[in-house]
């Protein structure tokens, strides 16, 4: 009887320790590939300043975009749950995945006090 309480507490300790939530393989695969901007909003107002923007998410964490420079730049990305963090590019940001479907992706990010929403389609040509 004396050992039941310590054993119960020990088992609770092990079950409470878990790993960080990981992105399921199928969701990670759904993100991979080239995404082309169809619409951008700054503080919920449509803007054409980002026309031609693209994001390319590689299978190995490689990332390419033309954000800010208009020229291709490479870096890396990391996805944790609904957040994508980019690094090694002119404007490293953390994006929140608002929606991810087979050929549609909606991202949200904050930069210098502004809220940006990016609606993108897989592969194709920007509208």
pLDDT digits (tens, 9 = 90+) for 19-36: 444 555 455 559 999 999
Identify the DSSP state of 104. Answer: E
CATH architecture of 21-122: Beta Barrel (2.40)
**What residues does each domain of the chain span?**
21-122
Q: How high is the pLDDT of residue 27?
A: 59
Tell me what pLDDT residue 10 has.
Answer: 46
User: What does the alpha-carbon distance between residue 103 and residue 24 come to, in Å, rounded to a whole number?
Assistant: 18
pLDDT for 66: 97
Which residues of the chain have a pLDDT value below 50?
5-10, 12-16, 18-21, 25, 126-127
CA distance 33 to 5: 52
């Amino acid at each position: 009887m004396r050992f039941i309480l310590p054993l119960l507490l020990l088992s609770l300790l092990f079950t409470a320790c878990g790993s960080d939530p990981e992105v399921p393989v199928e969701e990670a695969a759904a993100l991979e590939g080239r995404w082309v901007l169809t619409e951008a909003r700054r503080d919920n107002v449509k803007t054409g300043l980002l026309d031609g923007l693209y994001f390319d998410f590689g299978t190995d964490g490689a990332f390419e975009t033309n954000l800010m420079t208009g020229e291709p730049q490479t870096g890396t990305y990391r996805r944790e749950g609904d957040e994508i963090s980019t690094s090694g590019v002119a404007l490293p940001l953390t994006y929140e995945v608002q929606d991810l479907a087979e050929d549609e992706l909606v991202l949200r990010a904050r930069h210098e006090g502004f809220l940006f929403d990016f609606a993108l389609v897989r592969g194709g040509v920007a509208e």
